[in-house]
């Protein structure tokens, strides 16, 4: 479990159930109620993908589902918005972007 890499979680009034997801092949601990973006940021990972045209790094920008910058691959589905997608037990998250 790479939960201690650089855990940026803050104290919470109520803690959701623990669950395990995979981020780029590594098992990572997460909590029910967290978004994919929160899980990545909690690991200290700010870069979620590289763009198709310029290969530029991108991460969370708007945080509310309108900018489509925080795109990751979830369970094989490309272009999923990390900021509005809640984690589920066993979810497979791939960052880095889709190479065209």
Partner 1 sequence: MTESVDLAIVGAGPAGLAAAAQAAELGLPVTIADAFSLPGGQYYKQTTELGVMPATEGQAGRLIEGLARPHVRLLLGTLVWGIFSERGGYLLCLAGPPGTPRRLWAETVILAPGAYERPVPFPGWTLPGVMTAGAALGMVKHQRVLPGRRVLLSGTGPLQWILARHLIDAGAELVGVLDANRFPWNGWRHAGAVWGQWGRLGEGWQAWWAMVKAGVRIRWSRIVLRAEGDRQVERVVVGPVDGSRSETVLADTICLGHGFTPAVQLSRLAGCEHHYRPDQAAFVPLRDEWLQTTRSGLFVVGDGAGIGGKDVALLEGKLAAMGAALQLGRDVPPSRISTLKRDLSRQRRFAAVLDALFPFSARLGNLLTDDTVLCRCEEVTVGEIRRAIDERATTVSAVRMLTRAGMGRCQGRMCGGPLAELIARQTAQAVEAVGIAAPRPPIMPVELEGMLEVES
The answer to the question of residue 2 lying near partner 1 (CB under 8 A) is no
Q: Show Cβ contacts of residue 2 under 8 Å, excluding neighbours closer than 6 positions.
A: 26, 27, 28, 29, 43
Cβ of residue 25: shortest distance to partner 1, in angstroms? 20
Phi and psi at residue 58, to the nearest 5°: -140, 155
The answer to the question of residue 54 lying near partner 1 (CB under 8 A) is yes
CA distance 31 to 23: 14
- Residues near partner 1 (CB under 8 A), total: 42
The answer to the question of residue 41 lying near partner 1 (CB under 8 A) is yes
Cβ of residue 92: shortest distance to partner 1, in angstroms? 19
The answer to the question of residue 68 lying near partner 1 (CB under 8 A) is yes
Q: How far apart are the first and last CA of the chain?
A: 32
Q: Which of 79, 90, 96, 98 binds partner 1 (CB under 8 A)?
A: 79
Residue 18 zone, left/alpha/beta (φ > 0; ψ -120 to 50; rest): beta
Which residue ranges make up the site for partner 1 (CB under 8 A)?
8-12, 14, 16-17, 31-35, 37-38, 41-42, 46-48, 51-54, 56-69, 79, 83-84, 86
């Amino acid at each position: 479990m790479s939960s201690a890499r650089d855990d940026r979680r803050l104290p919470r009034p109520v803690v959701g159930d623990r669950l395990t997801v995979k981020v780029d092949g590594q098992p990572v601990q997460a909590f029910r109620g967290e978004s994919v973006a929160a899980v990545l940021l909690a690991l200290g990972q700010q870069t979620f993908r590289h763009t198709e045209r310029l290969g530029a790094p991108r991460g969370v920008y708007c945080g509310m589902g309108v900018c489509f910058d925080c795109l990751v691959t979830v369970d094989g589905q490309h272009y999923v918005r990390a900021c509005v997608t809640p984690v589920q037990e066993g979810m497979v998250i791939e960052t880095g972007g889709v190479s065209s």
